[in-house]
Structure 1
Amino acid sequence: MAEFDLIERYFNFHYDFSSSSANNSNRPVVVKGIGDDCAIFDIPNNYQLVTSTDTLVDGVHFFSELQPELIAYKALAANVSDLVAMGAKPLAFTLSITLPEVSEDWLAGFSQGLKEASKLFKIPLVGGDTTQGPLTINITASGTVKNGRLLQRNKAQVGDDIWVTGYLGEAAAALQLADKALPGKQELTDAEQMLWQALTTPQLPLKFARKLTKFAQCGLDISDGLMADLGHILQQSQCGAVVDAEFLPVSAALVEVVGLEQARQFALNGGDDYQLCFTTNNQYRNKVLNLAERYDVNATRIGRITKEGLTVEFDGAPFEATRTSWQHFN
């Protein structure tokens, strides 16, 4: 199959950009997607454009034996999560995919999964590239934020509360289930299935994050592990933190599979959670909880920003982390 035939058959989803432009003339819109050398956006003066890109490699970020629909979902979710971390509304994304061969069954599944994820996150595919080689997926996602409403890593203040959304550690623990969970393997228990779903189809607090920008300024997504990612906030904001391990949000499913002590270790230094870590002034505690309830998001206060250092405590005593967060090239 020729490259442009492949693109037309599997990746041209035929979005109707004209209707969205007509109805939202005062908002950022996609004027034109696939069809020219570049996509075309209209960005009004009172908005900022944010862009993020991620490369996912077979055997590092996903298992090629996994259903292609799930690979597509995870690839797009990982990129949209970066938009969530900035409090941005998704605008559009591009896909560059390297394929070892043209498998129409695999492409049909991948295309369907990508299309469904695109609709779920309300972010259209507007361009990209296809090449031959080891299976690699690169997505660049763009979003928009009103001026002054960004969540940034350098905005934490001493005395701020530290919050996270969702439940942490499930995805990292699910990696240990790969030998059972991949197609043709053993059946998973109900608890194991919940962990596997957290790894393959992470649920993003998209609307919650956008509304959060009304009273929060600091945030990022948890992709490499809480301690590593919180460390980025502390470095950029030139401050420290105390994390209270007893308040780490761990699910009943995770505790059932690995036990409470290991659940806390996975929550501290797991990775692949794609949840939001953010800080707010402590006067906004009720606002955070009310917003979380409104959008059906689990929001948990896990610590506080201090002048320097990063310590983990359990009921006031030091708590030892026995895992390390994810790093490439380690």
Structure 2
Amino acid sequence: MAEFDLIKQYFTFEYDFDQNLKGNIDAEQASSKSSKNTAKPRVVKGVGDDCAVFDIPNNYQLVTSTDTLVDGVHFFSKLPPELIAHKALAANVSDLAAMGAKPLAFTLSISLPEINEHWLASFSKGLQKVSKLFKIPLVGGDTTQGPLNINITAYGVVKKGRLLERNQAVSGDDIWVTGYLGEAAAALELEKKALGSRNNLTDAEQVLWSALTQPIPPLKFARKLTKLSCCGLDISDGLAADLGHVLSQSQCGAKIFVESLPLSDALVNSVGIDQARQYAVNGGDDYELCFTALSNVRNKVLNLAEQCGVNVTRIGKIIGSGLELTLYGQPFQSSRSSWQHFN
């Protein structure tokens, strides 16, 4: 199978999103849309040309994120290909959520050891499913032969002045997280058991495995947070490590109440409360949002979370300097290190 035949068969999807993109919409078709729609960011050209083309109105900014996923580091090649596709796109969408951006489009560059049509059909099916879930169309990329590697570049849009940035935390702010922490890190210990057969896993272990392989970043909630002038980022490398980026750029410190970290019943029942807390502090691969907000908007944060069906938990506060971890008022020591690509 030639490269362009491969792209046409497996990576040319049909969409019907609010970006006004269905297949490849040309400029003439797009110009016939209502003035209300043309005032929004949209894709003009997608798969099938030398470049993708976006329309970005003056009151929006374009944000972009790139992630490379390597076999054996970011995913297990023995996983069902549709799960690999989900994780690959979710990792990038999580970065868009971290900025409070609405997904616009993504490109995919993938190297394959060989053309395995069964693998490609499954990967393509999973990629199309997750792209529709996040309402983000595939608009281009590249394919080549080599070791299995997946590189995705995601594009999003946010109204000017609404970015969630890392340098806006101030002393006295509350610190919040979305979802539950530590599940994905615990799931790594289930690799051999899960890859043998999903039937080998208990109900609790299946919850953990899904958190690792099929994360759902809180996109809608993150966009709504932009109205509250929050400071945020995603915590894919672990809570302590990623929060450290906020503290460094905002030139402040934080106090984390470990007993307040959100732990699921599935995690606690699988590994125990002590180990669950270790995973929550430095686990990584959570693809949840950590954000700070003024203490006088607590009710607004909770109301927004309820509207979006998202679990949010207040876990600490911003202080003058340093990172303090306490458990019921006593210093807490982490026995784990956060994720580092180069040790």
- TM-score of the aligned structures, taking structure 2 as reference length: 0.94
Q: In structure 2, which of residues 225, 232, 241 is the aligned counterpart of residue 219 of structure 1?
A: 232
Deviation string, structure 1 residues 35-79 (Cα, Å, up to 9, x no partner): 111000000000000000000000000000000000000000000
Partner of 2:8: 8
Partner of 1:37: 50
Question: Are the structure 2 counterparts of residues 88 and 20 from structure 1 closer, same or farther at C-alpha, using a change threshold of 3 Å?
Answer: farther
Partner of 1:166: 179
The alpha carbon displacement at 1:183 in A equals 4.2
In the TM superposition, what are the counterparts of 1:319-330 in structure 2 within 5 Å? 319-330=332-343
The gaps in structure 2 that reach 5 residues or longer are: 16-21
In the TM superposition, what are the counterparts of 1:273-312 in structure 2 within 5 Å? 273-312=286-325
Partner of 1:176: 189
Q: In structure 2, which of residues 267, 270, 290 is the aligned counterpart of residue 257 of structure 1?
A: 270
How many residue pairs get aligned? The number is: 330
Q: In structure 2, which of residues 50, 61, 66 is the aligned counterpart of residue 53 of structure 1?
A: 66
Q: In structure 1, which of residues 135, 148, 151 is the aligned counterpart of residue 161 of structure 2?
A: 148
Q: In structure 2, which of residues 222, 242, 264 is the aligned counterpart of residue 209 of structure 1?
A: 222
Q: 2: CA distance between counterparts of 1:120 and 1:93?
A: 14
Q: Secondary structure at the match of 1:154?
A: coil
The alpha carbon displacement at 1:316 in A equals 1.5
Q: In structure 2, which of residues 114, 132, 155 is the aligned counterpart of residue 101 of structure 1?
A: 114
CA contact (8 A) 1:268 1:321 kept: yes
Partner of 2:130: 117
Q: Secondary structure at the match of 1:91?
A: strand
The alpha carbon displacement at 1:216 in A equals 3.0
CA contact (8 A) 1:84 1:204 kept: yes
Q: In structure 2, which of residues 175, 194, 200 is the aligned counterpart of residue 187 of structure 1?
A: 200
Q: Secondary structure at the match of 1:153?
A: coil
Residue type of the alignment partner of 2:43: V
Partner of 1:270: 283
Q: 2: CA distance between counterparts of 1:58 and 1:127?
A: 22
Residue type of the alignment partner of 2:135: K
Percent of paired sites with the same residue: 72
RMSD: 1.2
Q: 1: CA distance between counterparts of 2:315 and 2:14?
A: 44
Q: Secondary structure at the match of 2:61?
A: strand
Q: 2: CA distance between counterparts of 1:319 and 1:60?
A: 29
Q: 2: CA distance between counterparts of 1:69 and 1:318?
A: 43
Partner of 2:84: 71
Q: 2: CA distance between counterparts of 1:217 and 1:143?
A: 18
Partner of 2:18: none
Partner of 2:149: 136
CA contact (8 A) 1:254 1:263 kept: yes
Q: 1: CA distance between counterparts of 2:157 and 2:305?
A: 22
Deviation string, structure 1 residues 281-325 (Cα, Å, up to 9, x no partner): 000101111111111111000000011000101122111111110
Partner of 2:212: 199
Deviation string, structure 1 residues 2-52 (Cα, Å, up to 9, x no partner): 000000000011441647772511110001101111000000000000000
The alpha carbon displacement at 1:167 in A equals 0.1
CA contact (8 A) 2:198 2:206 kept: no
Q: Secondary structure at the match of 2:8?
A: helix
Q: 1: CA distance between counterparts of 2:99 and 2:148?
A: 29
- TM-score of the aligned structures, taking structure 1 as reference length: 0.98
CA contact (8 A) 1:242 1:306 kept: yes
Q: Secondary structure at the match of 2:335?
A: coil
Q: Secondary structure at the match of 2:200?
A: coil
Range moving further from structure 2, 58-67 or 317-326: 317-326
Partner of 1:236: 249
